[in-house]
Amino acid sequence: MKNELIFDIEKELDGTKIREYLRKKEFSTRFIRSAAGDKRIRVNGKIAKLSYVLREADKLQIQVSKVEDQNIEPEKIDIEVVYEDEDVIVINKPPGIVVHPTKSYPSGTLANGILYYFREKGENCIVRLVSRLDMDTSGLILVAKNQFSHMSLARDMQSETFKKGYLAITHNNSENHGFKESSGTIDLPIYRPGDGEIIRVIDDRGQRSITHYEVLETYEEGQLLKLMLETGRTHQIRVHLSYLGHPIYGDALYGKEEQQYIKRQALHAYMLHFPHPRTREVVKLETDLPQDMKVLITNLKDIK
């Protein structure tokens, strides 16, 4: 069954309790408790407690899906599905849409649209965001469709096989224009100055933050950069680039509003690699630059 995980108990793990067995398989404590409490754990077809001692050739079965509710109203919103299976869905988010409901944006968010999409398909899923993007950043967002896949993906976000790539169009600065090196690493700590503050700053009191960059194209008044995150701090790319004198075009928070060029920050999450929760094979996804960033590049190329 698609909504079930099945493990044939190995000889070397004969005599292991279910609780310890699942921990060895890197299941989170929260998931283990939830599955046991909902009686979604069976051995050879019969409901089993966590204290059950497994024997070689036992068949351990864990039901992944369960009935769940979420305080989000489904809304018919067009969403672009890049990848989907029984465990995950990846959406190409357009700019100008909030990912999840907030006090300021209680409806009309990507989560409202995804929940509607699930209901239309007859799937009893809630929206479990694995990755997020700012309102005016476009690109790939990963959503788990069950508790198991969310647990697995959240854990794997720290692994080398989980990669997030971005494309940004940046300003040159007055002193040395764009980045002189074709590639490099930005290693600067990011700090939140106060509770409730949206803006982040570079400060030694902050968390270590690492961004790898590669210059793809250079223009008279800007550059197209490919960026890979080693850490995932709030606004990390925007803060790093602005601090170095290369703010992203249209970034009103860390640069300036530039309606004549683009109506939002020119930042796009174009690439996502992640180990699949069930198969462990790495899923590799990429998406093209959105039209507004293509137009911006065309305009920058015309500047002599």
Q: Three-state SS for 258? A: coil
CATH code matching the domain that covers 4-63, chosen among 3.10.290.10, 3.20.20.60, 3.40.50.1860, 3.40.50.880: 3.10.290.10
User: Please, are residues 5 and 28 in contact by the beta-carbon 8 Å criterion?
Assistant: no
* Helix/strand/coil for 224: strand
* Average pLDDT estimate for 270-287: 95
134 is catalytic: yes
**What CATH number has the domain spanning 81-156?**
3.30.2350.10
Q: Are strands 267-275 and 138-144 parallel, antiparallel or unpaired?
A: parallel
* 53-111 residue pLDDT tens: 999 889 999 988 776 767 899 999 999 999 999 999 999 999 999 999 988 898 999 99
Query: Residues 87, 134, 136, 292: which is the catalytic one?
Result: 134
Residue ranges of domains in the chain? 4-63, 81-156, 163-301
258-262 contacts at long range (C-beta below 8 A, 24 or more positions apart): 261/296, 261/299, 262/169, 262/292, 262/293, 262/295, 262/296
> Same fold for the domain at 4-63 and the one at 81-156?
no
Residue with the larger pLDDT of the pair 70 and 202? 202
Task: Grade residue 2 by pLDDT with cuts at 50, 70 and 90.
Answer: low
3-state SS assignment for residue 11: helix
CATH top class, domain 163-301:
alpha beta
